Structure 1
Amino acid sequence: MKVKIANLGAVEKAEIDLKPLTVFIGGNGTGKTWTAYTLASIFGRHGFDRYWKSYVNNKTQNRYPIIDNAIEKFLQEGNVNIDLIRFVDEYTDIYINDVAQLSPIWMKQFLSTESIDFKKMQISFDLSTTKHQIIENIRKSNIERKFSFGSQGEEYLSIIKELDEIYIYFNLVSKKDILKTVSKKLLREILVQEVFQIIHRAFYSYVYIFPTERTTFITFPFFIKKEVIKRENSNIAISEISEPDIEQIISEQENRQRSKKPSEPIQNLISILANAYIKTSDEREEEICNSPEIAIYIELAKLLEEHILQGRIDFNQPGLEKEIIFQPSDNIKLEISVTSSMIKELAPLVLCLRYLAEPDELLIIDEPEMNLHPVAQVEIIEFLAMLVQSGLKVLITTHSPYIVEHLSNLMKAAKYEDKENIKKRFYLERTEAFIPQENVSVYLFENGTAKNILNEKGRIDWGTFGDVSDDISHIFP
């Protein structure tokens, strides 16, 4: 998927090809983090929420006859089906670019800033190379929901999208004429939200953001009532804590630290931690029964703990206040606040993989090398490549020469026929870390643009950005 960006902070004009593993390199203030966060805002829940609400209120640039006609039919007859593949064929490019058109409006709120003007920002997408994957993701989606009306629950709206089915079905079930008693606005909102949710998640089924602030927010204890947050598993929510609950958590954190409301990336991080906290092992096992491929993420979380962190990350025993703990051995348990910066840095990723991650989701990690020893930096790029090979998508920003140089090694290793014979040269000794070059893109942010620096032979040429070590070695002869 290609994206064109103009007038986004330091980025005057750039074109980027997003791959399963996308790497943004650049000096401070070159726009790589803002670019990553802008993409997160469009592809994540924030963009989805803003767009479907704008569409219902006739505030989007485009309309979709296939949706509007279906809504009118439904409001008259009480049932309708919508061909999702037809929608993708005719409107997906328009849809995601229409979402992007709204992004300049919300970026100040997303980044929690009042000092920057995003009015001139432009962003657009070319889906010519990815539409087939979007269609495949639509086919793989499987939804069965019920919205009840009335105290007895005898009147309800049934929504069904079966695996490999191209249609989503809406059907009102009632013993009376429910169309005369239920708000047409509410029904219209539900239909728009459900259709756009499937379309939106066909790009990335979910977006997790790991901002640099994660080492601070990971240390906060959580005062969360599980029965309140459990609403996120209701029919209306979309696999994340609902907005009022996030507001509640943030409010509690603000009362303790007396600061302004965090940016959306930080709220996303808090959501990761809170959702991981409320997910029980039984619930995760049920998810694995429905989608066996999820089990690999639990194994990867264990690998990250054993080979890099050298200890276990988890929540403390049930109680009113939940804290994240680190257990380096059977007899020692440490509050996360007193652990090393590396433990704080990677703990959110461990919890996300163990309790939340599913295939086709996007992880955006700002500076994964932060607070890591050079050996751990090399290990983490091998680990991130393994995440991509397991079905996740990963976008990172980095300054690390260790990550960049070793990524070249991983792409070269993927070309070897006898991979088992060379795996011991690598830090994690896993052939799953060998990532094909066609799944990687690397961009250098500098001079107001982002330049592709991954050549056809797999070499990453980041020019003077990688020459600092050579320069300082020659200060004295």
Structure 2
Amino acid sequence: MKIEIANLGFIQKAEIDLKPLTVFIGGNGTGKTWTAYTLASILGEYGRERYLQAYLDKKTQQRYPIIDNAIEEFLQEGNVRINLIDFAEEFLETYINDVSALAYTWINKFLATERVDFKKMKVNFDLLDAKQEIFNNIKNHISTLPFYFSSQNISKNTLYKLKELGEPSIYFYIVSISEGSILKKLPGKVFERILIQEIFTIINEAFYSFIYIFPTERTGVLPFFSSAIKIQDYEDDFDDENGINIPRILSSPVKHLQSKLQEIYRKPFSDREEEIQIHPQISEYIGLAEILENDILGGKVNIDNSDFDQEILYQPSENIKLEMTVSSSMVKELAPLVLYLRHLALPNELLIIDEPEMNLHPAAQVEITEFLAMLVQAGLKVLITTHSPYIVDHLSNLMKAAKYEDKESLKERFYLERTEAFIPQEEVSVYLFEDGTAKNILHEDGRIDWGTFGNVSDDISHIFP
């Protein structure tokens, strides 16, 4: 998926090709994190919900006749069928670029800044190479949830949404579930919102099923949420221990991580077992969580239910359990990823991880590089920002290893000793952010040329002869 970006903070103009594994390298303040977060806001639920409201308010540049005609047909007939592939073939690129055209209206809040003017920001998507995968994801979407409504409590009716696996169309129809009653009409405005929200959700999730952001602040967020104190509404202000109201000035990526940790507390594992029936890959994600614990963290991350309040604990050995507040910075850094894989991960999700090397020993940085490649090989997408020469240089090794026919003979040279970490070069893109742009620095031969940015170690080693 190719993206053109202009006038985004320090980025004057850049072209980026998002691959299953995308790496942003650059100095501080070069725009790599803002670029990653901006793409997340457009491609994720944050932008979709704001675009939905703008569309209902008729404040978008584009209108979609297929949707308007479907609403009219439903109000007259009580049922309608919409071919989502037809919609995508005609409007897919128009839709996502119309969403991005509104991004300047919400990006200040998303990034938690009031001092930057984003009115000239432009983000344009070219989907030529990505369309077939997106179409397949649309077909594989499932939607069968009913919506109940009634008229003066006399009869109860149900609006059904039906989108079966592998089918290109979604159906909406009303049935009465009260014997002897007549069908009641659903108010036009109500159905309009339901239909538009369902279509926009399916189209958005065809890009990525969901987008998870792991911001650099994650090491501070997890200890707070692993204690008995939990924020019930993460959008509201909260009081400190002295009763003083503290305004929330956190960015949406941080709030997002907080809300997802809350979701893990509430989600029973029986729900996860049901998800496995639909997506067998989830079993692989749970296995990856165990690899992360055993091979990198050296201990287990669990939600302890022994007391009245649930608590996230780190268990380095059978007889020792530690609260997150006293666990190492590496545990705080990687525990959210363990919890995500075990409780939340679904195929085709995008993980945006800001500086995965943070708080990690160089050996652990090499291990996490291999682990991220394993996530991609398991069907997840990953975008990272990094300053780490260990990550960048070892990524070259993983791409070279993928070219070997006898991969088993190579695995002992690598830290995790797993061939699943060998990633084909065509699944990787690497960009250096500097001088107001983002440069593709992954060469055809697999070499990553990050120039003077990667030569700091050489420079300081020659200060004294």
Aligned to 1:213: 217
Q: Does 1:391 align with 2:379?
A: yes
Match of 1:163 in 2: 165
Mean Cα displacement is larger for which, 374-383 or 318-327? Answer: 318-327
Q: Which residues of 2 match residues 353-392 of structure 1 at below 5 A?
A: 353-392=341-380
2:410 is paired with a residue whose SS is helix
Residue among 167, 181, 184 paired with 1:178: 184
Deviates more, 1:43-52 or 1:258-267: 258-267
- 1:471 aligns with one of 456, 459, 465: 459
C-alpha distance in 2 between matches for 1:152 and 1:340: 60
User: How many residue pairs were aligned?
Assistant: 456
What secondary structure, in the 3-state scheme, does the structure 1 residue paired with 2:314 have?
strand
Identity over aligned pairs, percent: 61
Q: CA separation in 2, counterparts of 1:246 and 1:202?
A: 31
Structure 1 contact 155–178 (Cα < 8 Å) conserved: yes
Gap runs ≥5 in structure 2: none
Q: Distance in 1 between matches of 2:284 and 2:27?
A: 35
For residues 166 and 281 of structure 2, what CA distance do their matches in structure 1 show? 18
Matched with 1:202 is 206
SS of the equivalent of 1:172 reads: strand
Does the 8 Å CA contact 1:5/1:15 hold for their aligned counterparts?
yes
Tell me, yes or no, if the aligned pair for 1:405 and 1:460 is still in contact at 8 Å: yes
Is 1:296 paired with 2:284? yes
TM-score (norm 1): 0.93
Q: Deviations over 1:75-117 (max 9, x none)?
A: 1211000000001110000000001001011001111221111
Amino acid at match of 1:130: A
User: How many angstroms apart in 2 are the aligned matches of 1:312 and 1:47?
Assistant: 36
- Counterpart secondary structure, 2:49: helix
Shift of residue 258 of structure 1? 3.0
SS in 2 for 1:115: coil
CA contact (8 A) 1:246 1:267 kept: no
Q: Is the 8 A contact 2:226 2:313 kept in 1?
A: no
The within-5 A match list for 1:87-102 is 87-102=87-102
Residue of structure 2 equivalent to 1:229: none
Q: Deviations over 1:182-217 (max 9, x none)?
A: 432111100000011101100001000000010011
Residue among 267, 284, 289 paired with 1:279:
267
Within-5 A mapping of 1:453-472: 453-472=441-460
1:329-344 correspondence runs (5 A): 329-344=317-332
SS in 2 for 1:91: helix
Could you state the TM-score of these two structures normalised by the residue count of structure 2?
0.95
1:367 Cα offset (Å): 0.2
| RMSD after superposition | 1.8
The one of 383, 386, 395 aligned to 1:407: 395
| Structure-2 separation of matches of 1:133 and 1:192 | 22
Q: Which amino acid aligns with 1:472?
A: I
Q: Report the equivalent of 2:304.
A: 316
In structure 2, the CA distance between the partners of 1:7 and 1:222, relative to structure 1 (3 Å rule), is same
Structure-1 separation of matches of 2:226 and 2:197: 30
Contact 1:222 1:274 (8 Å CA) reproduced: no
Tell which deviates more after alignment, 351-360 or 254-263. 254-263
For 2:43, give the aligned amino acid: F
Letter in 2 for 1:347: A
Given the superposition, is the C-alpha separation of residues 254 and 214 from structure 1 closer, same or farther in structure 2, using an over 3 Å criterion?
farther
Task: Provide the rounded CA distance (Å) in 1 between the counterparts of 2:335 and 2:119.
Answer: 37
User: How far apart in 1 are the matches of 2:207 and 2:290?
Assistant: 28
What is the deviation of 1:53?
A: 1.4
Q: CA shift at 1:251, angstroms?
A: 3.7
Q: 1:138 to 1:460 in 2, by over 3 A?
A: same
In structure 1, how many angstroms separate the alpha carbons of the residues matched to 2:405 and 2:382? 26
Contiguous gaps of at least 5 residues in structure 1: 226-244
Q: After the TM superposition, which residues 86-165 of structure 1 pair with which residues of structure 2 at under 5 Å, given as runs?
A: 86-150=86-150, 154-165=156-167
Contact 2:373 2:423 in 1 (8 A): yes
Instruction: Give how far 1:321 is off.
Output: 3.2
User: Structure 1 residues 20 and 3 mapped into 2: Cα distance closer, same or farther (>3 Å)?
Assistant: same
* Residue 419 (1) aligns with residue 423 (2): no
Contact 2:367/2:415 (8 A) holds in 1? yes
The one-letter code matched in structure 2 to 1:248 is: D
Shift of 1:153: 7.8
